[in-house]
């Protein structure tokens, strides 16, 4: 059975996006944006800010578990924060060894730790020993930092540290998000480890998913930018693999999704921030929908959230060309 995970994407996939995309029923679980652990043992309100689902049993409104993701280099501090997350009800702890951000990597975190497999081992072991046995610990890695020389060693270190699951983004840190993703390496990792694995990277369409599945041999897949560019991608994949039939969303459905997203930002008092989030999502939608180009041009200079909502709502009821002409 195909298992689909909604990827954490810093500055984009917050609890609102998790709620909207998990509501389609295509995703089996989600992962939060990373909580950067550098010097402090965080109080509860920090975890609630990143993962308000902790207040509802660690699940989205539609019932999908949400793992709390931590990122840092100090094993003890990572372990202490993992304990707090577990006490607050996190259904699992995920550790980020894959972030390619230059800022993050300058501070010994994210993908920079892939330079030495011992880094992964000690952090995972500390977290695994600290949290209750019934709380799963997982890790996300890339194929390496500058090259792929240590891709198997890093995967083995994750397993040896005690993680029950590993997600592998099929590119190095230096490759960033540049195509292609090297799914063939995932098949080699699967042969070397006994824990379950999720494939990640460059899955934009159902056809991409099928190719990744066939090359990697995985049955679990993490969708990131592809799920933003095509918000019902997870359901379309489940439909193709024997799940419930799904009627593909059309452009008006996407616009209505944007309206709902804007409404969920009612607790954000900054209009520019609200408009910026909509434009950020709309920019990625251009990958999946031809109509998004013209619509992005239409809204790119709008900073008033009420005006933006009205345009989105009107466009959801009328052909985009009519809205543009008005």
Domains 3-240 and 251-325 belong to one CATH topology: no
Q: Looking at residue 59, what DSSP letter applies?
A: B
Per residue in 20-39, pLDDT (tens digit) is: 999 999 999 999 999 999 98
* 251-325, CATH topology level: Bacteriocin As-48; Chain A (1.20.225)
Residues tagged active-site: 99
Q: In the predicted model, what is the mean pLDDT of the chain?
A: 95
Instruction: Return the CATH number of the domain spanning residue range 3-240.
Output: 3.20.20.70
Instruction: Identify the three-state secondary structure at position 143.
Output: coil
What ranges do the domains of the chain cover?
A: 3-240, 251-325
- Check: CB of residue 156 under 8 Å from CB of residue 114: no
Residue 308 pLDDT? 95
* Cβ neighbours, 10 Å, residue 287: 14
DSSP-assigned letter for residue 38:
S
Confidence (pLDDT) at 117: 98
pLDDT higher than 90, residue 177: yes
Q: Which residue would you say has higher pLDDT here, 103 or 227?
A: 227
* Percent of the chain surpassing pLDDT 90: 91
State CA 177 to chain mean position distance: 14
Q: In degrees rounded to 5, what are phi and psi of residue 218?
A: -80, 160
CA distances from 126 to 92, 154, 158 (A): 15, 16, 12
Q: What is the mean pLDDT of residues 205-216?
A: 98
Q: What is the DSSP string of 85-114?
A: HHHTT-S-EEEEE----HHHHHTT-GGGGG
Give pLDDT, residue 319.
57
Q: Which residues face 169 on adjacent strands? A: 142, 200
Residue 107: is its pLDDT beyond 80?
no
Whether the pLDDT of residue 44 is over 70: the answer is yes
Q: What is the pLDDT of residues 244-277, one digit of tens each?
A: 999 999 999 999 999 999 999 988 878 999 999 9
Residues 192-207: what's their mean pLDDT? 98
Q: How many residues does the chain have?
A: 326
pLDDT at 11: 87
Query: pLDDT tier at 318 (50, 70, 90 boundaries)?
Result: confident
Give me the DSSP letters along 244-305: S------HHHHHHHHHHHHHHGGG---HHHHHHHHHHHHHHHTTT-THHHHHHHHHTT---H
**Position 106 pLDDT exceeds 80:** no
- Structural tokens at position 232: 């019902």
Interval 65-89: pLDDT, tens = 999 999 999 999 999 999 999 999 9
Pair 167, 216: CB distance under 8 Å: no
Q: What does the alpha-carbon distance between residue 140 and residue 169 come to, in Å, rounded to a whole number?
A: 7
Confidence class of residue 194 from pLDDT cuts 50, 70 and 90? very high
């Amino acid at each position: 059975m195909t298992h689909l995970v909604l990827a954490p994407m810093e500055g984009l996939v917050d609890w609102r996006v998790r709620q909207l995309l998990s509501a389609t029923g295509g995703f089996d679980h989600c992962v939060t944006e990373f909580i950067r652990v550098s010097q402090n043992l965080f109080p509860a309100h920090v975890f609630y800010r990143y993962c308000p689902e902790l207040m509802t049993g660690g699940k989205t409104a539609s019932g999908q578990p949400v793992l709390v993701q931590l990122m840092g280099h100090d094993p003890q501090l990572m372990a202490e924060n993992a304990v707090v997350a577990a006490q607050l009800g996190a259904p699992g702890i995920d550790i980020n060894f894959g972030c390619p951000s230059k800022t993050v990597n300058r501070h010994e975190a994210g993908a920079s730790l892939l330079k030495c497999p011992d880094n992964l081992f000690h952090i995972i072991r500390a977290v695994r020993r600290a949290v209750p046995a019934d709380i799963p610990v997982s890790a996300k890695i890339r194929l390496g930092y500058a090259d792929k020389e240590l891709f198997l060693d890093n995967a083995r270190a994750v397993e040896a540290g005690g993680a029950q699951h590993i997600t592998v983004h099929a590119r190095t840190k230096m490759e960033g998000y540049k195509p292609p993703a090297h799914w063939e390496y995932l098949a080699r990792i699967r042969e070397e480890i006994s824990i379950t694995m999720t494939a990640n990277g460059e899955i934009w369409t159902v056809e991409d998913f099928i190719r990744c599945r066939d090359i990697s041999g995985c049955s679990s897949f993490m969708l990131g930018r592809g799920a933003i560019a095509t918000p019902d991608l997870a359901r379309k994949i489940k439909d193709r693999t024997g799940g419930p039939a799904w009627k593909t969303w059309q452009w008006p459905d996407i616009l209505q999704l944007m309206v709902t997203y804007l409404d969920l930002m009612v607790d954000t008092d900054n209009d520019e921030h609200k408009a910026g989030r909509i434009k950020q999502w709309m920019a990625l939608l251009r990958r999946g929908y031809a109509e998004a180009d013209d619509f992005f041009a239409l809204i790119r200079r709008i900073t008033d959230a009420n005006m933006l909502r009205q345009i989105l709502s009107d466009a959801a009821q009328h052909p985009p060309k009519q809205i543009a002409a008005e």
